[in-house]
């Protein structure tokens, strides 16, 4: 079986999904994806005049929430390794002409962001495509690029524990989402992968365990009965 966490595989998958990902993400989350992104950003209270790094930025879906509070001294760095996603992020950048935005087409594990650059790190819906080892590397990178006392907030879709919600949610994930993939891309297999990643991921508790290290204060966060979850924290060293 192919390694679904191999970066080239993930990159190609998101290249394929780029034309419809925004629509499908909105539909598959029943419209909650936008709300969850906003909540993820609000968790860490971004201030004016700061540098924010948005990892696995996709098309820049979190940007409008990040840039709500910004001024001429604020800067946003968006990073993603999918060429197609980055192309769309560059187009999205035009909507924020008054903001300083730098877009990087780079792998999060081999990026050019300098040590101690960021006041804040955000990531929306990228965690599920990492295995445990990669999540450990992600923790290393966030620690590297954050300034002392810098904050981070990461979120992803999750499998709810509720006995009422879970069966419905899993049916939707495994059966309805691939149909949407066929409608939008002519390929149910592409979007079927989102269900596979989400089922394997479960929730962000494992991410919390991996990030629970001496250099961070970290907290597990749940959204809408566990349909999304994440972690937020601060670098203390």
Say what percent of the chain tops pLDDT 70. Answer: 93
pLDDT of residue 19: 76
CA atoms within 13 A on the CB side of 191: 28
pLDDT of residue 185: 58
Contact 96, 63 (CB under 8 A): yes
The more confidently predicted of residues 160 and 192 is 160
Q: Has residue 148 been placed in a domain?
A: yes
pLDDT of residue 139: 98
Q: Has residue 177 been placed in a domain?
A: no
Cross-strand pairs, 47: none
Q: Has residue 72 been placed in a domain?
A: yes
Spatial distance between the Cα atoms of 117 and 108, rounded to a whole number of angstroms:
15
**Cα torsion 39, 43, 48, 54: sign:** negative
Q: Has residue 180 been placed in a domain?
A: no
pLDDT of residue 196: 86
Axis crossing angle, helix 21-28 with helix 177-185, rounded to the nearest 10: 160
- Of 10-24, 50-64, 77-91, 116-130, give the lowest mean pLDDT range: 10-24
Strands 228-235 and 146-157 come out as: antiparallel
Residue 226 belongs to domain with CATH number: 3.40.50.150
| pLDDT tens-digit series, residues 131-173 | 999 999 999 999 999 999 999 999 999 998 888 888 887 787 7
Range of 223's domain?
A: 7-157+203-235
Spatial distance between the Cα atoms of 9 and 7, rounded to a whole number of angstroms:
5
Q: Has residue 58 been placed in a domain?
A: yes
- Of 8-12, 102-106, 118-122, give the lowest mean pLDDT range: 8-12
| pLDDT tens-digit series, residues 24-44 | 666 666 678 889 999 999 999
Q: Has residue 2 been placed in a domain?
A: no
pTM of the full predicted structure? 0.92
Query: What is the DSSP track for 130-199?
Result: --HHHHHHHHHHHHHHEEEEEEEEEEEE-----TTHHHHHHHIIIIIHHHHHHHHHS-HHHHHHHHHHHH
User: How does residue 181 score in pLDDT terms, banded at 50, 70 and 90?
Assistant: low
| pLDDT tens-digit series, residues 50-81 | 999 999 999 999 999 999 988 889 999 999 99
Q: Has residue 197 been placed in a domain?
A: no
Number of separate domains in the chain: 1
Spatial distance between the Cα atoms of 120 and 55, rounded to a whole number of angstroms:
11
Q: Has residue 114 been placed in a domain?
A: yes
């Amino acid at each position: 079986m192919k390694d679904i966490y191999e970066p080239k595989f993930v990159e190609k998958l998101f290249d394929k999904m780029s034309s419809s990902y925004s629509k499908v993400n909105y539909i598959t989350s029943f419209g909650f994806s936008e709300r969850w992104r906003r909540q993820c950003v609000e968790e860490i209270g971004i201030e004016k005049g700061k540098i924010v790094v948005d990892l696995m930025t996709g098309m820049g879906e979190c940007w409008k929430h990040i840039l709500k509070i910004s001024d001429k001294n604020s800067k946003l760095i968006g990073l993603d390794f999918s060429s197609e996603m980055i192309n769309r992020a560059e187009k999205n950048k035009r909507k924020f002409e008054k903001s300083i935005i730098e877009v990087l087409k780079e792998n999060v594990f081999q990026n050019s962001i300098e040590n101690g650059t960021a006041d804040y790190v955000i990531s929306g819906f990228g965690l599920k495509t990492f295995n445990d080892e990669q999540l450990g590397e992600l923790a290393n990178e966030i620690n590297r690029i954050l300034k002392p006392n810098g904050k981070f907030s990461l979120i992803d879709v999750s499998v709810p524990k509720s006995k009422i919600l879970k069966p419905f949610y899993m049916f939707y994930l495994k059966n309805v989402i691939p149909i949407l993939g066929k409608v939008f891309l002519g390929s149910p297999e592409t979007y079927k992968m989102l269900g596979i990643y989400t089922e394997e991921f479960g929730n962000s508790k494992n991410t919390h365990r991996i990030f629970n290290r001496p250099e961070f204060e970290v907290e597990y966060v749940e959204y809408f009965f566990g349909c999304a979850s994440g972690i937020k924290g601060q670098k203390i060293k």
